[in-house]
Amino acid sequence: MDIIRVKNLVKSYEIYRKEPGLWGSVKSFFYRKKDFAEAVKDISFTIKEGEVVGFLGPNGAGKTTTLKILSGILYPTSGSVEVLGFTPYDRKKEFKKQFGIVMGQKDQLVRMLPAMDNFLLFKEFYEAPEGEFDKTLEELIELLDVKEFLNIPVRKLSLGQRMRCELIAALLHNPKVLLLDEPTIGLDVVAQKNIRDFIRKYNQKKKTTILLTSHYMDDIKELCERVIIINFGKIIYDGKLADLISRYATEKIIKITATDTISKESLGKFGRVEDYQGIRALIRVPRDRVKSVAAEIISSNLPVDDIFIEDMPISDIVRAIFEGR
């Protein structure tokens, strides 16, 4: 069953341009030149129940705009959006009760209040049944390990601690759909991994449908079987992440460790050398040549200790697609 349906969605923002300088400011006080910027240009996609889909694209591609429309924060300019059978911008309470969103760049919790008080406010809002709410809250507190700082005002928490509380707030009412806009932004690698592990387990257990944006490719690689890539407001790829890699990964990476220093020049014969450290280096090799190059390296008389062959990082593949290569 399709939980999210987006058809020919367009969103333009009204923008007002001002001429530079003081005179420009004075003029704009009387007359503002109205303009439109199309942030989302005719996109369509559907997402099935239980899917975890990665929504990728460079800065300004239109990801947050799309998520805001899916959550009912913004109206579309044209096209249609359906989530759980609701039109999000009708903002029906029944819809909000089944829907959660976390925006890494913007907090939903009241900063003056401790997380626990925030959660209780959400409980009122969602009109959650007593027993069920308490059980869910207890579970989430345990899973996200936030017990120690539940009673400290949110503004005093670290970013990682706050993000875990934001996740709880978004999940307290057991939503069927969860939108995550950069939930790991700014976190250290350990905190990022904890959030990722939580999201994976949560989806496996609850079968919640999740649409996730992140600039960290580890998030995408570990959580999303399918990705939608958007650039300049248009979808340029929608499909399996594995297919994306096999279609667009033009190179493989040979990692070399040596027992003695090997010169950069002698490695350069095999491919493009990167991250050269004398006894360690990466060599980028066209995919169809990787086997023969690896064999050449092994049979050469260089002091090679070991070699590993790896796929190109997804971030490189995605960047190549953004750049239209």
Least distance CB 226 / Mg ion (angstroms):
19
- In the bound state with ligand ATP, the residue whose beta carbon lies nearer, of 70 and 297, is 70
Residue 15's binding partner out of Mg ion, ligand ATP, none, with CB under 5 to 8 Å set by partner kind: ligand ATP
By CB under 6 A, is residue 61 in contact with ligand ATP?
A: yes
Residue 13's binding partner out of ligand ATP, Mg ion, none, with CB under 5 to 8 Å set by partner kind: ligand ATP
For the segment 37-56, give every residue that binds ligand ATP (CB under 6 A): 37, 39
By CB under 6 A, is residue 57 in contact with ligand ATP?
A: yes
Kindly tell me the sign of the dihedral angle through the C-alpha atoms of 303, 306, 310, 313: negative
Residue 268's binding partner out of Mg ion, ligand ATP, none, with CB under 5 to 8 Å set by partner kind: none
Distance CA 264, CA 268 (A): 6
305 token code pair: 């200790």
The single residue among 60, 85, 278, 303 that binds ligand ATP, judged by CB under 6 A, is: 60
Least distance CB 216 / ligand ATP (angstroms):
12
3-state secondary structure of 138: helix
The single residue among 15, 26, 189, 242 that binds ligand ATP, judged by CB under 6 A, is: 15
The one-character DSSP state at 29 is H
- In the bound state with ligand ATP, the residue whose beta carbon lies nearer, of 6 and 61, is 61
The single residue among 3, 6, 9, 65 that binds ligand ATP, judged by CB under 6 A, is: 65
The single residue among 16, 59, 130, 301 that binds ligand ATP, judged by CB under 6 A, is: 59
Q: E strands of the chain, at which residues?
A: 2-17, 33-48, 52-56, 78-83, 99-103, 177-181, 209-213, 226-231, 234-240, 251-258, 272-274, 280-286, 304-311
Asked if 100 and 170 touch (Cβ cutoff 8 Å), the reply is: yes
3-state secondary structure of 4: strand
- In the bound state with ligand ATP, the residue whose beta carbon lies nearer, of 98 and 213, is 213
Asked if 12 and 169 touch (Cβ cutoff 8 Å), the reply is: no
Which residue, among 8, 50, 48, 56, has the nearest Cα to 237 in the 3D structure?
56
By CB under 6 A, is residue 123 in contact with ligand ATP?
A: no
- In the bound state with ligand ATP, the residue whose beta carbon lies nearer, of 65 and 208, is 65
Which residue, among 39, 114, 94, has the nearest Cα to 69 in the 3D structure?
39
Distance CA 250, CA 253 (A): 10
Least distance CB 110 / Mg ion (angstroms):
23
Q: Which range of residues in 61-69, 111-119, 139-147, 192-200 is near ligand ATP by CB under 6 A?
A: 61-69
Least distance CB 63 / Mg ion (angstroms):
5
- In the bound state with Mg ion, the residue whose beta carbon lies nearer, of 2 and 38, is 38
By CB under 6 A, is residue 62 in contact with ligand ATP?
A: yes
- In the bound state with Mg ion, the residue whose beta carbon lies nearer, of 39 and 177, is 39
For the segment 42-101, give every residue that binds Mg ion (CB under 5 A): 63-64
Least distance CB 181 / Mg ion (angstroms):
6
Backbone angles phi, psi at 187, to 5 degrees: -85, 155
Residue 9: strand pairing partners: 43
Query: Beta 52-56 vs 209-213: how paired, if at all?
Result: parallel
Q: Encode burial over 24-56: b for 16+ CB neighbours within 10 A, e otherwise.
A: eeeeeeeeeeeeeeebbbebebebeeebbbbbb
Which residue, among 214, 203, 143, 146, has the nearest Cα to 178 in the 3D structure?
203
Distance CA 101, CA 49 (A): 17
- Where do contacts with ligand ATP occur on this chain (CB under 6 A)? 13, 15, 37, 39, 57, 59-65
- Where do contacts with Mg ion occur on this chain (CB under 5 A)? 63-64
